[in-house]
Amino acid sequence: MSHFMRVAVAALLIGLTIAGSGTGSRAADAAKVALVIGNAKYPDNEFVLNEAANDAQDVAEELKRDGFAVDRQTNLTGDAMRQALDRFYARIERGSVALIFFDGFGIQSNRQTYLLPVDAQIWTEPDVSRDGFNLDAILGEMNVRGAAIKIALVDAGRRNPFERRFRRYSAGLAPVIAPSNSLVLYSTALGAVVGSGKTDRSLFVTELLREIRAPNISAEQALTNTKNGVVGATNREQVPWLSSSLTTEFAFAGTIVRPPDGNGPDKTPSKPELQKPEQQAVCKAAQPDAAPSPSELARDPVINDLTRKIGANPNDAVSRYKRGQVYAIKRAYALAMQDFDAVIRSDPKDAEALNNRCWARAATGDLQAALADCNLALQINPGLSDALDSRGLVNLKLGRTADAIKDYTGAIQRNPRSSSSLFGRGIASRRSGSDGSMDIDLAKSMDPNIAKEFAGYGVAECVP
């Protein structure tokens, strides 16, 4: 049994016996401790997440007003984040309320959510569990330390710079296996992401602060109202995920007013979800982001670090492959293919490198060469879902819609959360005369930027 599984099992068992967790018990007078983390400056990201730092400060100030002893931290490395969590655990008293707020980048792996420090070095799936912090384990440790109420508020469902290095889609966050008497709120739906905008405050935290300041309503109702507020403000484009096993009455602000009959908390009605107006479907062509200039690439810290390693060892195929991935993600396809060429010369049977070169060639329109790369990658590794996804793009651009649908379907069977494969299959279905709206809508719900990404490959969502 793994360490994380042991923690989760212990959390579930202890959660059944914590004093004061029975229905109707109160936590108004319990000690309240919080760890608030705003990770804004990830070197691998193109810009600073200003909203993460600002939101963390605003949340910390509000929690202090609500009686929490708050430790606010920003831009934590892995070591610093581990130390902050250890300090947080040490402050938890038996019967207390323990809350963690995290704003930054999160990622899921093996159906678990990981919160990422700013120095995370993630290039492959195993790197996630090595450098990330498992949310299930954090909640489990809060429970083991004796917290009667466990609360996790996570604004981390952003499209991040890490996932596309080892998968073709942004998978968002996974459901948490929380101990009893817990509240968990994500800013986005499970498996969905929102684009990282250059804003000063996030809508999610704006709604959250408004609701937890409201007096005399339960914490669970405040988070439900937060969810409904975001849903209404975005016309259902962003739907937060809420999980509750709370059986203890608790309010962020003040106490819960009970109705005259004394049967339970007086829960303020939640905000009505705004209904999306009926509109005639209009297809607006997405416009791709401009490719970075040579000077922008030259300033990229990840590229610079990899270039330094290659300069010290020209035979460093791993660094060349990683740099090729970064170039391809940034749409510097010519430079990406130079690196993939070098990797393939050193190992002609490197299926991952062949797949990535196929993808880069497909994006630039070198379709026959791309097809040869994808076919060879799948010959070497028939189960490589990313190569099926890449070949689907090639066939889509070649006008072979039946072959594209077959490739994308094969990729989806291996990876049902692939927004790239779902979107591609939806477009191929439309071009073949079928209705691909379900695939397209699902892909957009998981990745709001997927149409823009395909536009960068020369594939428009709109079908003439």
pLDDT tens-digit map of 173-198: 888 888 889 999 999 888 777 765 56
**What percentage of residues in the chain have a pLDDT greater than 70?**
83
* Interval 63-70 mean pLDDT: 94
CA distance 431 to 449: 21
Q: What CATH number was assigned to the domain covering residues 3-244?
A: 3.40.50.1460
How far is the first Cα of the chain from the last one, in angstroms, to the nearest whole number? Answer: 55
* Interval 243-266 mean pLDDT: 68
Angle at 168 (CA atoms; ends 167, 170), nearest 5 degrees? 85
Any idea which residue has 């490197």 for tokens? Answer: 350
Confidence band for 24, pLDDT divided at 50, 70 and 90: very low
* Domain range summary for the chain, segments of one domain joined by +: 3-244, 294-456
CA 260 to chain centre: 44
Any idea which residue has 């799936």 for tokens? Answer: 125
- Pairing label, strands 149-155, 133-134: unpaired
CATH says 294-456 is which class?
Answer: mainly alpha
> Which spans in 265-418 are helix H?
294-298, 301-312, 317-329, 333-346, 351-364, 367-380, 385-398, 401-414
Indicate if the pLDDT at residue 57 is higher than 80. Answer: yes
What are the start-end ranges of the E strands in 238-280?
241-244
The pLDDT of residue 160 is 76
The pLDDT of residue 275 is 38
**What percentage of residues in the chain have a pLDDT greater than 90?**
45
| The dihedral sign for the CA sequence 225, 69, 57, 73 | negative
pTM of the predicted model, to two decimals? Answer: 0.62
CA distance 105 to 154: 10
